[in-house]
Chains A and B, each alone.
Chain A
Amino acid sequence: MLTIQNLHAGIEEKKILNGINLEIKPGEVHAIMGPNGSGKSTLASVLAGRENYEVTEGSVEFLGKDLLELSPEERASEGLFLAFQYPIEIPGLTTTNFIKTAVNEIRKYRGQEPLDAVAFLKLMKEKMALMNIDQSLLSRSLNEGFSGGEKKRNEIFQMAMLQPKLAILDETDSGLDIDAIRIVANGVNKLRSKDNAVLVVTHYQRLLDYIIPDFVHVLYNGRIVKTGKKELALELEERGYDFIKNEVAEEVVR
């Protein structure tokens, strides 16, 4: 589904990713962990197409297409979704209107008829129930005055509405208490299927208690330095990131 090869990228002269290789297949859950500054969020941003990042080397293939050639909206329409670490507040634009426009623009891209009001409402009600979201929240301006938990739930609600092939969760657990994490994780788990995949970007292991990964990758200095099963996350939690840093240092010495 997603094949990243030797990806180098940075922002304004500063190199952040130094040759990422990663393969994600349908049905899989991958977790990317790493210390602060290792390039986790940069990877998420580059995949979603954030403008100010520059790819200097390497390739990313998504469902047979050259992802890096596509605009952010085309990536979304092809089935990529990024749950933002810091969802943006947009006063004056209701969540409902926003999500309706998004759903129908993606349908248009795929050559489908727009959903009519009834069908849209039905879909929305279904996903609202899934995410425990109240109608009143959706008639308010997008994320404006939402609590941290409401913002993150709204992200997963959007994901539920757009039904992506690959969802990237960028530090979705940051700033959430344990109850909120459980709700968010629960939403993600209900959306999992053999056809779609999830990439969880996180600093801490705790989200992975609820969204069980098939693979855990450790990102350090812009490279994946270690890959393992879910036990690797527990090991990191226990030993901290220093043991990874030391291992990398030893390799360099050798």
Chain B
Amino acid sequence: MDNFQYIREHFDQLQSSDTTSGLRAIRKKGFDSFNRLGIPVKHEEWKYTRISPLFNKEYKLNQHTSVSAVELEEIRLPGYEQATELVFVNGIFSFPLSTIRSNQILVMPLEEAAKNEYKDIVSKHLGHSSKYQKDGINALNTAFVKDGVFIFVKKGQIVEQPIYIYNVTDSRSGNVLSQPRSLVYVSENAQLQIVETYATLGLDESFTNQVLEIIVNKHARTEYYKIQNDSAHTNQVSTTHIRQIAKSYTHTVTISLNGGIIRNNLNLVLDSEYCEGHLYGLYLQKGQTHVDNHTVVDNVKPNCFSNELYKGIIDEKATGVFNGKIFVQPQAQKTNAYQSNKNILLSDDASVNTKPQLEIFADDVKCSHGCTVGRLNEEGLFYLQSRGIPSKIARSLLLHAFAIDVLEHIRPEPIREYVDKLISERLEFDGHD
């Protein structure tokens, strides 16, 4: 049975088993779009990332499996003792495996939120990302929205400890297609930090198609960290859609270290005056890992500020893609938008495609962009060696120095130390404090 027939059958089953849910209509819309758009093949936004071959494999969709707390242990991120931990297994939120350690946030199944007093928020904001991801992949996720969560931060709540989201893929009994889908709503004057990571149990292949939508209200601050350090037989399209609907502040850091094909869509919609957004990314690749960061900063209203810095170190046969769009809509005067992408290629077989894309429809704006692709600085290497530092260590010191101005933007300390350690180990570095 081919995947498309399988998807249709699953969709029909889901719709008939869930006749009352407030999510039925949005799923139907998603499914129709998926049928119309299909899997991107000759699609401008997918020029360097070919995912259609992944659909030649057979997957089990949204498969329920049992993962034990013990199996979760090694996946947990440092600092978890204080964090709220939300666990998804094959895209399905698991209450028993999750621990909510803060009374400042509400976490409930999205399905429930679509019916109770939050249903207006859900219907208003769920699915906004499809305006930016006009492809069948986003639609496919929407067609099956059901098992995610709704996270609500009440007015004025400064959530002191971060939320850790673990996306666990259990591919111990066959290939898995997971589609996590959640919605986060940060109310006025509230503050929230989210750290999200991905891990796989099992050796069969997996494809994770995730969508996370975050709404940020007046004077609210939201930080979002994504850490991708999964196995080479896992592939993912990970869409993070952040919409700032009133004067607010956001800060995101995307770290990609391991995986098969990774496509990140990060949308930052500055949908109100005086919003501020910072976007950082670091991709450190080897093997045949493919990392594609597509970012969109959409300046809808005047007087917004955004700053974007993505850096890549690409080794062996790995490939990187950076595509950074900045839109400045006609009424978004006095926009300040900056973008920079810097890459170091460490081998002859490594490659990167980088493309800034600025579409400016207002006339009183400050926008800048720049990208570089180069080798490790030979002069710097000689300088360090001339002080007695062996070339291997000198190389890792230089690469670490290159990465640091993204790393230092990871604010939760245990997470920053954790990522720094992963990177230092990767750079075969020791003797550094």
Contact = CB atoms under 8 A, between A and B. Distances in A.
Contacts of B345: none
A75 B403 CA distance: 29
A43 B346 CA distance: 30
A246 to B, nearest CB: 37
Most B CB within 10 A of own CB, among A75, A93, A100: A93
A91 interface: yes
Nearest to A93: B401
B379 interface: yes
Interface in B348-383: 377-380, 382-383
Nearest to A82: B386
A72 B383 CA distance: 9
Contact of B388 (A51, A76, A90): A76
Nearest to B406: A92
Interface string B378-396: 1110111111111101100
A138 interface: no
B275 to A, nearest CB: 29
A18 interface: no
Contacts of B378: 51
B391 A101 contact: no
B340 to A, nearest CB: 13
A102 B402 contact: no
Given A91-B401, A92-B401, A101-B431, A71 B380 contact: no
18 contacts: A50-B382, A72-B382, A73-B386, A73-B390, A76-B386, A88-B377, A88-B380, A90-B377, A91-B401, A92-B402, A93-B398, A93-B401, A97-B432, A102-B384, A102-B387, A104-B431, A105-B389, A106-B388
A243 interface: no
B397 A98 contact: yes
B380 A101 contact: no
Interface in A95-132: 97-102, 104-106, 109, 114
A49 interface: yes
B393 A101 contact: yes
A90 B389 contact: no
A91 B377 CA distance: 12
Contact of A72 (B380, B386, B397, B405): B386
B54 interface: no
Interface residues of A, number: 33
A76 B394 CA distance: 14
Nearest to A141: B401
A97 B383 CA distance: 14
Contact of B387 (A49, A71, A97, A158): A158
A73 B388 contact: yes
Nearest to A109: B388
A202 B390 CA distance: 29
Contacts of A50: 382
A49 B388 contact: no
A101 B389 contact: yes
A62 to B, nearest CB: 14
A170 to B, nearest CB: 11
B400 interface: yes
Q: How large is the interface on B (under 10, 10 to 19, 20 to 34, 35 or more residues)?
A: 20 to 34
Interface in B92-133: none
Contacts of A141: 401
The majority secondary structure among interface residues of chain B is helix
A87 interface: yes
Contacts of A102: 384, 387-389
B404 interface: yes
A84 interface: yes
B385 A76 contact: yes
A93 B378 CA distance: 16
Contacts of A92: 400-405
Given A91-B401, A98-B397, A105 B386 contact: no
Contacts of A81: 386
B383 A84 contact: yes
Nearest to B390: A73
Contacts of A16: none
A48 B397 contact: no
A93 B405 contact: no
Contact of A87 (B383, B389, B391): B383
A162 interface: yes
Nearest to B408: A92
A90 B390 contact: no
Given A71-B385, A87-B383, A88-B383, A101 B397 contact: yes
Nearest to B378: A51
A77 interface: yes
A91 B387 contact: no
Rank and list the top 7 A-B pairs by shortest CB-CB distance, nearest first: A92-B401, A76-B388, A93-B401, A72-B385, A102-B387, A106-B388, A92-B404
A199 to B, nearest CB: 15
A71 B390 CA distance: 9
A71 B388 CA distance: 9
Contact of B397 (A76, A84, A93, A158): A93
